[in-house]
């Protein structure tokens, strides 16, 4: 394989904050619409027992479709669920703690904002992927850091570890990120704020054209 050839950019779907009620059906529809590599369970301000109860049906849906189930922020919840991995921010513990709790095979991802330094630290600590962003304005969370496509190009040129682009990504604006070297696009609002199946299909078509 030519060293310049990368695997095509894949989708990394992040949950909305509301994952109860009819959400499991929506997740199944989204995952059945087109290929998705991973799903991140992201809830805030819930006790772990409640979070685990909400996660269980979603984890099953992912497992049946061979989609990695990643828990946001909480190493202990990821361990409790036997999740495929954990995504940690800069304040949620270390890669080493996650690895010790979840084992060698778990996927451990780290939020690196727009920082080359944080990304290199995460890579050296043994992260499985690093996440950069936000690339575009987003309503999902408050944006403190804006990243440019040059960051993806730089990372791709030097490092083997996959990178994830996050923040305000839509089917209309995702092509430059894929071309710049994002291995995964983390998407949330663009999918859940409308028809999730149509959105996943639109992302898939845009990425197929870009790759």
Q: What is the DSSP string of 123-134?
A: HHHT-SEEEEE-
Per-domain residue ranges of the chain: 10-210
In this prediction, residue 8 carries a pLDDT of: 94
| pLDDT in the model for residue 67 | 98
Provide the token pair at 126.
């043994």
Q: Under CATH, which architecture does the 10-210 domain have?
A: Alpha-Beta Barrel (3.20)
Could you tell me if 68 and 86 are in contact, meaning their C-beta atoms sit under 8 angstroms apart? no
Query: What does residue 68 show for φ and ψ, rounded to 5 degrees?
Result: -60, 135
Residue 210: pLDDT over 90: yes
Give the model confidence (pLDDT) of 164-191 as tens digits. Answer: 999 999 999 999 999 999 999 999 999 9
> Would you say residue 132 has pLDDT above 80?
yes
Mean pLDDT throughout 113-120?
97
């Amino acid at each position: 394989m030519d060293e310049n050839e990368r695997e095509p950019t894949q989708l990394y779907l992040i949950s909305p904050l509301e994952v109860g009620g009819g959400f499991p059906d929506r997740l199944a529809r989204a995952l059945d619409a087109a290929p998705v590599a991973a799903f991140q369970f992201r809830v805030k301000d819930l006790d772990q027992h409640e979070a685990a109860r909400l996660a269980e049906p979603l984890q099953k849906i992912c497992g049946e479709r061979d989609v990695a189930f990643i828990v946001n922020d909480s190493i202990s919840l990821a361990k409790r669920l036997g999740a495929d991995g954990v995504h940690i921010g800069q304040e949620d513990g270390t890669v080493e703690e996650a690895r010790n709790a979840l084992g060698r095979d778990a996927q451990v991802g780290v939020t690196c904002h727009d920082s080359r330094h944080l990304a290199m630290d995460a890579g050296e600590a043994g992260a499985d992927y690093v996440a950069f962003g936000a690339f575009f304005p987003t309503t999902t969370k408050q944006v403190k850091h804006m990243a440019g496509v040059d960051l993806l190009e730089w990372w791709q040129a030097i490092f083997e570890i996959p990178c994830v682009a996050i923040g305000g990504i839509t089917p209309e604006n995702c092509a430059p990120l894929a071309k710049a070297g994002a291995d995964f696009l983390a998407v949330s609002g663009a999918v859940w704020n409308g028809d999730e199946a149509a959105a996943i299909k639109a992302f898939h078509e845009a990425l197929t054209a870009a790759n």
